[in-house]
Amino acid sequence: MILIQENNFVKETPFQLNGFCPIRTERKTARNADGNLIGGGILTLIKSGVQHNVPNFNILPDNDHTSESHVIDLYLENSIIRATKIYVPPIKESDPNDHRIQNFKSTLLPSGKNCLILGDLNVHSPIWDQCQPRNSIGELIEDFVVDKDLITLDEGSATFISPATGGSSAPDISICGADIAPKITWTIYPATLGSDHHPILMNIEVPGPKEIDTAVKERTALKSRANHSGEDRKAWLEKCSAVKKLITDSNRQSWRDFATKLNARSDSSKVWNTIRAIDGRGKRAPEGAAMEVNGQLIISSQKKADQFVKMYKEVSEVRHQKLSLADSVELNENINRDRQYVRIVRRVANSECSCPLDGYCAPFNKKELDASLAQLKNTSPGDDQIHNKLLTHLPPAARWPSQLSSTEFTKASNTQQLGGKGP
């Protein structure tokens, strides 16, 4: 994860870095009365594949229009780290051109045993800055660290060198919870890389993967000796079971930690990517990626589609189960009953109707036919292969032939209704 402050981006500035997911917060309040928002801004780059979530809540007071922040939950194997990136600009009340008001408060900052707060707060205190005297924000952070039982990682060395005066100070601060403090190594990079701030390097040791990696190495070593004796083979099989349990427990815990943070605004694509990663399937292949099937590389879209259809046919084919004797007898009885019904319907359809032509047996008229055709939906054709569009576009002469008498039309309609055959 890379955290950058004062990136000088504006909202319209596009930014992408291959292999990283960018999370940005732009400046909201101009320093001068001209309204120019250039300057400020914070950027966090998370390496692709690291599961994370950006909670939708504000950690700054409503009247703080100058500070910039965002919160990111990182899902690292068996733990969740809530990382907060924040930038509090230096507001010079003595400068007549600086129209901003400092309303920063620490009361809403995330805390807890697995929290991580990083950024340039332009904060000074003897606890982490041995170059400059304490300021008002320094007092706020001191009280916050003590009240929440947090730990400052800074060692007192300067992280900033003023290009104007050459003076040094430590306005950048790193705060963490008690649980992750022993797992963090914190160092200052000696070169400034063209900035007036020194980069800060942090390494967080996550014990989960190392434990699994060690177990996998032990399993591999045992496998090479498994063919030599029965005892080695038994030890190898036991280690295989142990590794499998470690991976299963790790995946289960990762999913529990991830699922507890889901809400209605969670990104569904990130949720499914997490499920695929835990399930061992990885992310979906990017567009244009080649497909390998049985050692053969498939590149063309047509061949990919053919392979998908073949695979889908194999997994979706309905396998007919052998019926029991009782089920077979019942099925045959139903088939015979249906056949008898069909014979009766066809006999009625082929005979003259002696009922009075009223009610449901009354002949259709042109108005009813037009209304029925108007309600037809654009569906696929049936067994007769006649599309509904063909019927709805029939000319009036074809819809209602004048040479067809009402008696003939009624007989044809009855034939259609009872026998399932058209005239």
Mind giving me the DSSP string for 171-210? -EEEEE-TTTGGGEEEEE-S--TTSSB--EEEEE--HHHH
Alpha-carbon distances of 104 from 35, 343, 382, rounded to whole Å? 21, 87, 71
pLDDT over 50 (residue 410): no
The 10 Å Cβ neighbour count of residue 115 is 21
The helix (H) or strand (E) run that includes residue 236 is helix 230-259
More confident residue, 151 or 416: 151
User: What is the token pair recorded at 260?
Assistant: 């507890």
pLDDT, tens only, 44-86 = 998 877 778 888 778 888 888 888 899 988 887 667 889 999 9
Q: Does 422 score more than 60 pLDDT? A: no
Q: Residue 44's closest CA among 143, 99, 142, 117? A: 117
Cα separation, 135 vs 171, in Å, equals 11
Query: What residues pair up with 3 in beta bridges, in sequence order?
Result: 44
- Over 90: is that where the pLDDT of 117 sits? yes
pLDDT 10s digits, 231-263: 777 787 788 788 778 877 777 777 777 787 787
Q: What is the mean pLDDT of residues 90-102?
A: 76
Domains of the chain with CATH codes: 2-205 (3.60.10.10), 210-284 (no CATH), 353-423 (no CATH)
28-49 tens-digit pLDDT? 776 665 556 566 788 899 887 7
Q: For strands 115-120 and 79-87, give the pairing.
A: parallel
Is the per-residue pLDDT at 414 higher than 60? no
Query: What is the residue-averaged pLDDT of the chain?
Result: 77
Residue-level pLDDT at 423: 46
